[in-house]
Structure 1
Amino acid sequence: MKKESETLELKKSLAQLKEGIISLSSMLNKHHKGCVIFGINDDGKVCGIDIGKKTINDITHEIQNSLKPLPLKVDINPFVEAEKKLIKVEVEGDDTPYSAYGRYYIRINDSDITMDSNQLQKFFEDKQETYLKWEQTETEYGVEDVNEEILIDCIRTANEKGRMDYVYRNTKEALNKLGLLTENDKLNNAGLYLFGNNKPLTIKEACFPTDSRTEFGEIKLFSGNIFECIRESIYYIQNHISYKSRIVGIQREEEPEIPLRAIREIVVNSFAHCSYARVGDYNQYTIYKSSVRIYNPGSIIMGLDPINFASGKVGSKIRNLLIASTLYKYGYIDAFGTGFDRTFTLCSQKNVNYKYYEDDFGFTFVFKRNKDFLNDKINDK
């Protein structure tokens, strides 16, 4: 006879699906896995349930709509016990904290308890430590696997901006100054992704002639380190938006439909706050007829609205401290937590509409395009 525990919940019927999903979220938050069986009373007695053609789909959709973020593993399997039909739902995931129907729960024995603000804050603090642990994890690559040209440029620029006081001597010393080398003289993950010459990161770029992906368009993948991918992303977007030309004196000036500084801020933000440990997902830069969309895996830290950072209500929350620190030294980030404020201000000054949202997988920023602009593209990088 089955008994409920911190990783197992029993439900008599699918009428208790909402309660079952709440249990899944609380078990994920406590143990990173959980199981709910429908068709068994909480005392362990098998009673069975009716399973129709749409039952599995209905459960799937309810989980997708209500359990945030969606766990990496969601298995829904019907089975038979004591000649009665049951359904087992199993989940696994490390992207805590998980919410169910907009609230956060923690599993205590066989009960689902609503988290208080202190518990929730601790979850996000622990999560920050997890990201730092990933950045500091040693790789198999050494100083010989670094793009030294980019590293030298980074150090030189950081000195010019007054953000470092260090004269470049060699790769090993420079990487140590940036905290990107382990005690075994191997690159950590942050160092590999920032300066690796073995193309550690892949991004996806696309341009469609309409607002639908169903129309034939350009789709390509680009691989490189973070610095190479930032430059490629900015270049790709600026060469696929429109410009207006005007004569000022004897000079011809071109004005982009979207401020290039705003594009740069959001592109850099997408790399600074990306969840690099998430396998099978890419930073994506997509141009449609009426919008430019910039996506990165991983949500905003603590689920906060970017307006809170822009207004100064909340201080900067950094997912990747080592990566963001290096981007700051280089000048890609002027001050932590100010990128959204600059973007909102630039868009307001140029009457550019925008929106942003999170889904189960990451964060998307959307610039609305100005259809009054002529399609006069800059051909220079």
Structure 2
Amino acid sequence: MSIDNLDTVKQLIAEKECGRIEFKETTGQLERGMETLCAFLNGEGGTVLFGVTDKGKIIGQDVSDKTRRDIAEAINRLEPMAMVQISYAPLPDSEKKVIAFHVENSKPNRPFSYKGRPYMRVESATTTMPQTAYNDLLLQRDGNRYRWELLENRNLTLQDLDANEVLKTVRLGIECGRLPEDTGTDVPVILEKFGLQKNGVLNNAAAVLFGKHEDMEYPQCLLRLARFKGTDKTVFMDSQRIQGNFFQLLNAAMAFIFKHLSLSGTTDTLEREEHLTIPYKAIREGVVNSLTHRSYKEAGGSVGIAIYDDRVEIENPGTFPPNWDAEKMKSEHESKPQNPLLANALYKRKVLESWGRGIGLMMSECRKAGLPEPEY
């Protein structure tokens, strides 16, 4: 975007309400201007104009060789390297110019920092970015390299894993046609093929899927289960805390749900048939999703399942994928798992599909049972 004439400058000034324009009277405010430019890079892009007052009056400024050098040095202090378009719009009958710094939406390269510090916009103000927000952007950018499930654990050994569960995964994968029949029974080789071990070193995903958690320090592999009397958390009827690998937690969750969900009976046939008041497929899909797509990086995080007289609530730590919301999740969408290694192993075992159908399945099953759709 070239901003080399006053007409373009005036159009930008008129758009100040959008929050992507910042005015500075001179490059004497270059530092503050660069902090704002960094904030624009961490947002949706924007423009900083030098030679314009806070009220939007164009006054221009002198541009010397030193001004240009100072600008170049300041731009070089942005990390990572950013594409900054610098334009000069001359004022009529004057040596003065309006200097414009413009950056486009640079989402794939966020977070940016200036002089080692990241900035963000809050309404029309520039402020230092909190560490948590910076880490979230960093994970979005470098997620494939620094995902928690990929991190190696050199203290983890094959003896810490349930080999029978590994072989069961292979057997079920072969039976459903998702693994070749020659996959074999060599556990280290299987773990390498699943991406759970590299050069003999196991990663966190291996512990989540197959760990013997009584011998390991993974506090986040916790499942909280509760049956409350009534419709709030005042009175417990049953409460459990289960530590274990993915399959242990899934089995424990389903057993608890079967124990406490009310049954309805029909006698359309010679034998009485009993059905859960919430369809099995819907509730199981909810539990599987909560364990698969959660964030595991926080040691204090866990999955919780609470059964009330009128509903079941399943909660887990984490977020939707970037730019997704509940409405997108409920519509037709692609599969974008937060933990691809976990999801891949579960797909092989036919615990999970890979087409983003889980939310739709829960909605469909509830509608068929005459129940409201799940709320998110």
Contact 2:363/2:374 (CA < 8 Å) preserved in 1?
Answer: no
Among candidates 135, 145, 149, match of residue 160 of structure 2: 145
Residue in structure 2 matched with residue 35 of structure 1 by the alignment: none
The amino acid that maps onto 1:106 is: M
Unpaired segments ≥5 residues, structure 2: 1-35, 44-109, 112-118, 130-135
Superposed, 1:220-369 pairs within 5 Å as 220-302=240-322, 304-312=324-332, 314-357=333-376
| Alignment counterpart, residue 135 of structure 1, candidates 113, 133, 149 | 149
- Going from structure 1 to structure 2, the CA distance change for 1:347 and 1:129 (only over 3 Å counts) comes to same
Identity of aligned residues (%): 28
* 2:265 partner letter: S
1:193 maps to 208
Secondary structure of 1:211's aligned partner: coil
CA apart distance, 1:157? 0.6
Mark the CA change 1:195 to 1:317 in structure 2 (over 3 Å): closer, same or farther: same
What is the Cα deviation at residue 202 of structure 1? 1.2
User: Could you tell me how far 1:246 is from its partner in structure 2?
Assistant: 2.0
CA distance 1:124–1:315, change in 2 (3 Å): farther
CA-CA distance at 1:124 after TM superposition: 7.2
Q: Which moved more, 1:269-278 or 1:210-219?
A: 210-219
| Aligned residue number for residue 78 of structure 1 | none
Q: 2:226 pairs with 206, 226, 230, which one?
A: 206
Figure out how many residues of one structure are paired with residues of the other and give that number. Answer: 251
Q: How far is the alpha carbon of 1:154 from its aligned partner?
A: 0.7
- Secondary structure, aligned partner of 1:353: coil
AA at the equivalent of 1:176 = E
1:112 positional shift: 5.0
Amino acid at match of 2:248: E
CA contact (8 A) 1:283 1:295 kept: yes
Paired AA for residue 160 in structure 1: E
* Corresponding residue to 1:173 among 182, 185, 189: 189
Query: SS at 1:343's partner residue?
Result: helix
Q: By how many angstroms is 1:209 displaced?
A: 1.0
Deviation, 1:244, is 1.3
**Partner SS for 2:305:** strand
- Note the C-alpha offset of 1:215: 1.7
Report the CA distance between 1:111 and its aligned residue. Answer: 3.0
**Contact conserved, 2:167 with 2:185, CA < 8 A, in 1?**
no
Match of 2:120 among 102, 106, 115: 106
* Contact in 2 for aligned 1:285/1:294 (Cα 8 Å): yes
Change (3 A) 1:326 1:306: farther
Aligned partners of 1:258 and 1:127: how far apart in 2? 40
Shift of 1:250: 2.6
Amino acid in structure 1 at the alignment position of 2:338: R
- When normalised by structure 1's length, the TM-score is 0.60
For 2:229 and 2:121, the matched residues in 1 are separated by: 49
**Higher alpha-carbon deviation: 328-337 or 339-348:** 328-337
State the TM-score, normalized to the length of structure 2.
0.60
Larger Rg: 1 or 2?
2
RMSD of aligned Cα (Å): 3.1
